[in-house]
Amino acid sequence: MIRRLVDGLASRPEIAGVAVISGDGLVIEQALGHDADADAIAALTTTIARHGHELGTATGRGSLGATVFDFAEGPAIMTHFADGMSMILLARPDADLGEVLYLLRQQRDEIAGLL
């Protein structure tokens, strides 16, 4: 199930890579390509999720849902789930992320059920 989710997202034209990461910072499944360091991405995603949750608590904004980073070589979207799992999508530099962000928000519970 998780492999199909990763492959399905990775096949989208706006997505260059996908990884599902456990709350312990381990890669569960990935389609990141050769240039990406999956273990470093997993460790950093877990750290960012922890700090994001702390920021949500400190600001009274609640739990962290998604984070978008706009890097020089393309955006990255991290989606966080209640059980500590995270998913990161590496987008292509010219990607229109509107539809992807909408789908992630609308299908959040369904994706969480697969993880």
- C-alpha to C-alpha distance for 69 and 50, rounded to whole angstroms: 16
Convert the pLDDT of each residue in 9-30 to its tens digit. 899 999 999 999 998 999 999 9
Residue corresponding to tokens 């949500």: 56
Q: CATH number for the domain including 25?
A: 3.30.450.30
In total, how many domains does the chain have? 1
pLDDT-derived band at 64, boundaries 50, 70, 90: confident
Convert the pLDDT of each residue in 26-42 to its tens digit. 999 999 988 889 999 99
Least Cα distance to 89 among 106, 104, 76 occurs for: 76
pLDDT-derived band at 89, boundaries 50, 70, 90: very high
pTM, to two decimals: 0.86
Range of the domain at 23: 2-114
Buried residues in 5-35 as b, exposed as e (16+ CB within 10 A): bbeebbebebbbbbbbbeeebebbbbbbeee
Of all residues in the chain, what percent carry a pLDDT higher than 70? 99
